[in-house]
Amino acid sequence: MGKRNIYNNSQITIEGFGKLLSEEVKILLGSDYEVDYHEVLKNNGVTFHALIIRHRNRNVAPTIYFDSFFEDYKCGGLLVDIAKEIIEIYNRYMPSEDQSMDFFQDFSRVSESLFFKLVNLKKNKKKLEGIPYRKIMDMAMVPLCRVKSDLLGEGVITIHDNYLKEWEISEDELWENIGENAAMTAPPKISGLMDIIEKATGYESECDAFSGICVVSNESGHLGAGAVFYPGLLKGLSEDFESDLYIIPSSIHECIVIPDSGFVMDPANLREIIHEVNTTTVSEEDVLSDSLYRYEYESDKVFMVKDAG
């Protein structure tokens, strides 16, 4: 019973807590279960800590993050009580049936659900290993497959190099399919910034300082910044505004697009503001880039703005 009666220890690390917690959950669940402690590398090098719980007769093993419980434990929470909460979460979200992944073996079926997300290239070098990503300036386009399930809901699977070998396709074939299907898998959504502000605040404004500024994402609003690079999207906006465009990477979920004709701020100052917002407002995991980009209609290309003016 020694480990089961461990109380608060303000000096313990989250790694040590994770190992104790995995042992406690294992004791409570019994011999039919395996419980493993894992450190999960997320976007921008952010590390989360989790337990993966497997029943020996099931093919679904939920990943349960316990970072939020760590402070409770250090402040006096009992290990056994936290373990019981973890088990409650497991029981709440564990589907009643196993999930078939047979469709993922057939690329003709997978191709219909492909799209991509944008991440910071420099901050994700380790996480990008083994992934057939495409570099775009200081960012990386990461291939994803959207999965919908009556049992598990909706999620995404990151495409890795070994999947291409199983499907017997090349990187070029993968990205050709992504280009053809992304806008259908994760349709783009373009909203006026004023509309978003008014919806959030409940107040209509006659101020036209934000007029012409739009927010580009996908319909879900999740991992939607890449929608700005869907074929023809920027060209269409540029034609509508009759102007070249500035692009602000507000997060991995969305980008802000501003017509050059209405752009009154020094780009160098704006880059400082982007960095400040990323540092103080956007969560570390959601930061995309500190850069400012510009779309040029004549060349139909996007480039980083490095010089003022």
pLDDT of residue 5: 43
pLDDT of residue 195: 62
Whole-angstrom CA distances from 169 to 101, 110, 132, 175 are 19, 12, 12, 10
pLDDT of residue 4: 45
pLDDT of residue 184: 96
Q: How far apart are CA 204 and CA 251, in angstroms?
A: 25
pLDDT of residue 6: 46
- In this prediction the pTM is 0.85
Among candidate residues 77, 97, 81, 83, the one with its CA nearest the CA of residue 53: 83
* pLDDT one digit per residue (tens) for the chain, 309 residues: 444 444 546 688 999 999 999 999 999 999 999 999 999 999 999 999 999 999 988 888 889 999 999 999 998 899 999 999 999 999 988 877 666 677 788 999 999 999 999 999 999 999 999 999 999 999 999 999 998 765 556 789 999 999 999 999 999 999 999 999 999 999 999 988 756 555 554 555 555 555 678 999 999 999 999 999 999 999 999 999 999 999 999 999 999 999 988 666 788 888 888 999 999 999 999 999 999 999 999 999 999 998 644
Whole-angstrom CA distances from 14 to 5, 74, 83, 202 are 18, 10, 15, 42
pLDDT of residue 105: 87
Q: How far apart are CA 65 and CA 198, in angstroms?
A: 35
157 in helix, strand or coil? strand
- Sheet strands (E) in the chain: 33-41, 47-55, 63-65, 114-120, 134-136, 139-149, 153-158, 188-192, 214-218, 245-251, 254-259, 293-296, 301-304
Look-up: residue for tokens 């869907």? 230
Report the DSSP pairing between strands 139-149 and 47-55.
Answer: unpaired
Backbone angles phi, psi at 168, to 5 degrees: 60, 50
Domain ranges of the chain: 3-93, 102-185, 188-304
